[in-house]
Amino acid sequence: MKILLSGVTRGYGALRCGRNLGTALLISGVIAGGARAEIVVAALGDSLTQGYGLPQDDGFVPQMEMWLRDQGYEVELINAGVSGDTTAGGLARVAWTLTPEVDAMIVALGGNDFLRGIDPAVSRENLAGILEAARAADVEVLMVGLEASSNYGPDYKAAFDSMYPELSDEFGVSLVPSWFDGILAASDSDGPSAFMQPDGIHPNAEGVSVIVDALGPAVVDLVESVSD
């Protein structure tokens, strides 16, 4: 992702008070009606995954789950997004995210690390720990990267941007280069504002729909990789 507002220094989950209180219940594998979906995918992320500022049905997880079902895939997508989370937070909770029911995992973290100016070497180590945990649990991973702006200089940007493809190669996991690629591709000359909430950081419902359309094929590949 290229952070859409250059110069923003607050974490994009900092506006949300509290945690996603429903995550622990969902992670436990409780599925409506007591039926277990054929494939269970955990989406480990921050406010972008959690659905900050949106009605529940308009967030990334429900929109992606509906998109997959419309494509004919029986998938339960677990919302393991926590608003304001960094890669360190993701690493701290990946063990209890990877319950026996989880077949695959989407990892979308790092934006808050950038916005807080955390050393990319630290972020990289945390992401590596998450990927190591997934490997130990024999869980397939799709990693969604980000592209930093130049707030902290070219060296920081280069180190941050490169950690995603390098970790993808190191661990042999699939990678979508940027969470916001779909929005940037769909934006007109006025920029992406039509797809964003007033804070300029989080997508609105239409923006999430565009993101889902762009990420969907990679998530299908992830689902099919564990269906074989």
Tell me if 10 is assigned to some domain: no
Tell me if 9 is assigned to some domain: no
Tell me if 2 is assigned to some domain: no
Beta-bridge mates of residue 141: 105
Choice among 119, 169, 199, 221 that is catalytic: 199
Choice among 47, 83, 149, 178 that is catalytic: 47
**Are 182 and 213 within 8 A, CB to CB?**
yes
The parent domain of residue 158 ranges over 23-227
Q: What is the CA radius of gyration of the chain?
A: 16
Nearest to 211 by CA among 175, 169, 180: 180
**Are 160 and 124 within 8 A, CB to CB?**
no
How many folded domains does the chain comprise?
1
Specify whether 162 is catalytic.
Answer: no
**Are 97 and 44 within 8 A, CB to CB?**
yes
The pLDDT value recorded for residue 7 is 34
CATH number, residue 167 = 3.40.50.1110
Q: Which residues of the chain have pLDDT under 70?
A: 1-37
Return the ∠ at Cα 23 (arms to 21 and 25), rounded to 5°: 95
Tell me if 16 is assigned to some domain: no
The pLDDT value recorded for residue 188 is 82
Specify whether 155 is catalytic.
Answer: no
Give the span between the Cα atoms of 193 and 203, in whole angstroms: 9
Choice among 83, 103, 161, 202 that is catalytic: 202
**Are 86 and 112 within 8 A, CB to CB?**
yes
The pLDDT value recorded for residue 37 is 53
Specify whether 47 is catalytic.
Answer: yes
Q: State the SS3 of the chain.
A: CECCCCCCCCCCCCCCCCCCCCHHHHHCCCCHHHCCCCEEEEEEECHHHHCCCCCHHHCHHHHHHHHHHHCCCCEEEEEEECCCCCHHHHHHHHHHHCCCCCCEEEEECCHHHHHCCCCHHHHHHHHHHHHHHHHHCCCEEEEECCECCCCCCHHHHHHHHHHHHHHHHHHCCEEECCCCHHHHHHCECCEHHHHECCCCCCECHHHHHHHHHHHHHHHHHHHHHHHC
Instruction: State pLDDT tens for residues 112-126.
Output: 999 999 999 999 999
Tell me if 6 is assigned to some domain: no
Q: How many CB atoms lie within 10 A of CB 150?
A: 12
Tell me if 80 is assigned to some domain: yes
Tell me if 134 is assigned to some domain: yes
pTM of the predicted protein model: 0.84
- State the residue for tokens 């599925």: 31
The pLDDT value recorded for residue 58 is 97
* Tokens encoding 32: 């409506």
